[in-house]
Amino acid sequence: MLPSFFDDLKHVYIYLTGGEIPWDYIYGLFEQAVYGGRVDNPVDTDVLKSYLTQYFNTAVIGGSRGSKTRLASNINLPNSSNFSEYKKICEDLNDDQDAPSLFGLPANIERS
C-alpha cells in the first residue's frame, strides 16, 4: 500500500512540475481502481478504454483544442482543467443521466 501511495505522489509531482501527464497511469487508475472488478466483459472493457482515451487526453484537459469536445448532444466539455467547470456539468445533468444519447446510442436502442 505504501509504495503505491508514493508512486501516486511521484506521478502527481511530475505533472505539477511541468512533466508530461502519465495518461497510461491515469487510464489504469480508472480501469482498475475506479471500475476494478465491475467491468467483467472484454467488450465493455474496450468501450471503457475508448471513453477514457477520448475524454481524458492532453488536448481535452489541457484546453489546447480549438473547439469544445462534445460529450453528448447537450453536453460540451470545457476548454480547461478547471474542476469547478466539470463539477457544474455534473450538477446540471438531469435525472435521465442514463439516456442512450449520452453514450452515443440512438434514442430507440432500448426498444426490442
Q: Where are the domains of the chain?
A: 68-112
Strand extents, DSSP E, the chain = 69-72, 75-77
Q: Which residues are paired to 76 by β-bridges?
A: 70
pLDDT for 10: 66
Ranges of the chain with pLDDT below 50:
1-2
Q: Are 55 and 77 in contact (CB under 8 A)?
A: yes
> Measured between alpha carbons, how far is 111 from 78 in angstroms, rounded to an integer?
33
pLDDT at 95: 66
Angle of CA points 43, 45, 48, to nearest 5°: 115
CA distance 12 to 14: 5
Taking only the tens place, the pLDDT of each residue in 63-80 is: 555 566 776 667 787 777
